[in-house]
Structure 1
Amino acid sequence: MKKYLFVLLLVLCMGVAGGIPTLSNPVPSSNPQTNVGDSITFQIDLNVGANESANATWYVDGTSVSTSSNLTNTTLSYSPSSTYTSNPGTYNVTVLVTNNGTDSYTWTWSVVPAPPTLTYDPISTSITLQLSQSEDFKIKADQDVNVSWVLRVNGSIIDSLNRSVSADVWDTYTFSASSIGDYTLTATVSNANGSDSVSWDITVITQPVLSNPKPSSPVITVEDESVVFSVDVDQLSDVSWFINGTLVQTTTTNGTVQFSPSSSYTGDVGTYNVTVEAKVDSLSSNYTWMWEVKPKTYYTGNTVWVEGQSSTTYTWTPLSFGWFYYDIDGGVGSESITFRNIDAADRVVNEGDVIYTTSRDLVNYEYSPWGKYYVIGFLAKKYFAGYNDQPAGTGNVNVLSKGQLHQVLIDSDEKRTLYAGASIQLEEGYELFAREIDLEGNRVWLELKKDGEVVDSDFVSGGDTYIYKKDVGDVEDLPLILARVGAVFRGTETNVVFLQGLFQISEDYDEVKSGDRYGMMKISSVSSRTITMKSDDD
């Protein structure tokens, strides 16, 4: 009896010590789905006790498909055969491990038909076409499918079509490049099993057009004279500028493009080819100017015209022709004479091709606080041309607009002392008297005489300017004489006034009008600003 009891206890103890196998870490971790024809491997970790082993059996829908024995800790795996991977359906894949106990794990595995797969041509999905060019885009699928073609430009659909196509049959869409731009063509195939698609990015280009080149070629400038070359480009292009074949500037733009050569070119006498090239992909257009940089004296500046070194249109100014009027202090002098179409061989200039012009300019009074007045140089002489309402009270009188040129007789800032009863002698018979100082000593009574006859009188306060006006020719109230009264002093024995600032123009004038002749030159126009004469043999 004791013997049987011992054996029973031994068996029970051995059974407890053997342990139960366990499964963990399944892969896939969830129920998988594969397409028909795709392979799959199921894996799971087996855990058994020390000095233990287990048997493993794999089942598909209850049918044993693989068995392994005497397994220790390991990873179990099973790859279904094509019997299952090639046949759509739902399968229960179970792994069962046994020893002194059992454990199992089951996946629900779905095998579904594969979606259609595209083959397409062209293989590149980035296509560049020229305007009016056509391209065939082709696709085929490995299953019967519905085909959808969609053409977009700037995101908007401009064409679409749908049709049914059998497996392995090419379907074609012909794209015609009717206008430049960026297009997207998408082909989609679909059926009950799924879909596939491909998109081509299509850029339609045309040769860029260059127009409105400025300035006109050939271009002539003188040393250090800036110049701007410009041209209009009809589309976004890579624009490059070259001088004598050397790249000097690049940009990507459209519309009006400009280029200003640097001083290394503008300051160097020579001949240059300036070329602009607009390029879109492999298409390009270009335009070339012939540009010549001449010496600074090419158009003007030399006293002598030099054949081959001077332009056939040449101008002399006060800086190159000392006979003209020029105010060196103010840098004022606008007389010029231009010879056009110079015939170097015969040394002649045709009638009407010698043009003399002169314009009025502002110059400073010698008494600078008064400001400026207008003068004009005419046939090398300085003439008064008008006031600029400086000093106040002179107004904006323009004698040139009336065809009158007056000589400036006095323009002085000399300080003068004038006692009561005394006078200062002016030009053209005028004499200015200081008759009396008022009792307060603030004003002086000035009297103006011409040839001994009183023509004007007025009380003038210290700091003010006496202005004598007179109608002269066609000009009314023309200020002829300006005198600034400085300090006024009244004493017990002496009364005195100090003058600083004296200006007088001639009452007589030279008349200029269209048709007047000066030698072989005849006045062609007189305006409020300019006198123009042209050569005339008549």
Structure 2
Amino acid sequence: MNFGIKRFLHALLIALTICLMLPVPGLAGPSICGAPFDTNATSSDGFCWNATTFGGFNYPVNKHKDFVASENWWGERLQYVDKDGQDELGVNNPGNHVIGEGELLYSTRQFSNKYDLVSDLGLTASTIPPELGGMFYYKLPWFGKPYVTVENDASQLANIVITQGSSDKKVLKSGDVWDLGKGYSLTVNQVDVEGDKVWFSLSKNGEELESGIVNANGTVENQIFTATADFGDGTDQLYFITYVDSVFMSATDSFAVFKYTWLIDKDDILIIKNGDEYQGFEVIETSKDGIVLENSKCITLNLDKDKKNYFTDSWYFQTSDKGKGSISPEGYIIYPATDVVVEDKNATVPIANSTEETNITSESNESENVSADHRTAPSSGTAGMEDKESHPEEAAEGSSTKLPGFGIISGIIGVMMCLALRRKS
């Protein structure tokens, strides 16, 4: 065999081996693990994880001190609570690998968020536009995904569609349509540079919901636009905010700059009630501030380091083999985990068995959230005029990681074949 061909085949084999080691788009990749505990060294009330000790939970880093506070803590917690005093998990019975019904509690509490518009513009309780209804809104993490609470009530949850961060802006000219996500869009009907005004409409699935003319040169109250509707158990609830920062003229077109846009999906409200079941947990307590659930079925752990003991659709307990990693031959190591889903932007077929918390097309993103899908809306003629695109949101806020897939193989093969043909000729 020609020496050049041999070298080509050898290089191709190496390239294919490397590619096959990469995660396949749409399939589980690396896992996110929680803090491990040794059953022979942990008391029964010591098996507890929060957002700082389990990456599957939603974790806004700027609110760290409140998320880990011993009292009045915010966010999510998972805790083992022994109910009968027999065969409890922990140091008194290190070999026990059964979590009884109702012994695994999942708790979540809402937390306050100041509107970016309020923070950036230095507004106070006496200077905010009355349309905002206050300086803060509240969010609640629900199985790893952040929602906005309707009427600041933890039992009423709305999906976040979009939140423009402090440094984000959207530049649009007359006729542009901004895809906000979940069927919502903002259309710029006309920009009046001389009058410092812009006329735009908010629509969902092509149906106009709101329309307004905003003056871009004046007080905050003039520059802000809000929309309310009846949804959940409330009336006249705020669901949309945007702020027209400025208007300007280029050589050919007139543009408007939008900032601090905030939108929740008023048509998709989750109402949580006692007795409801979610992902293997039953709601046992609802209040304005938070929700408590317990496992509705007994969880028997398979003490095999390669086995995943699922207790929700996407979270599972991983353990060591019996006696391995523990200071006792009967004990074992246990920690919660969840798999990272590899996102293929070019995929056109939905991935089977994907869950809302690990959605491969997650729109979730805020400066406080780890996972994000930065989708840019079509905006012809505005290239180079935007510092940052706004971030459509959903919730994953879930864990979605973009990693290379098999698409790289064809590129490597093509390069190798070209090199081989050149040597052969």
Structure with larger RCO (C-alpha < 8 A, sep 6+): 2
Which structure carries more strand by proportion?
1
Q: Report the TM-score range of the alignment, normalised by the length of the smaller protein.
A: 0.3 to 0.5
Tell me the TM-score normalized by structure 1: 0.38
TM-score by length of 2: 0.47
Write 1 or 2 for the structure with the bigger share of helix. 2
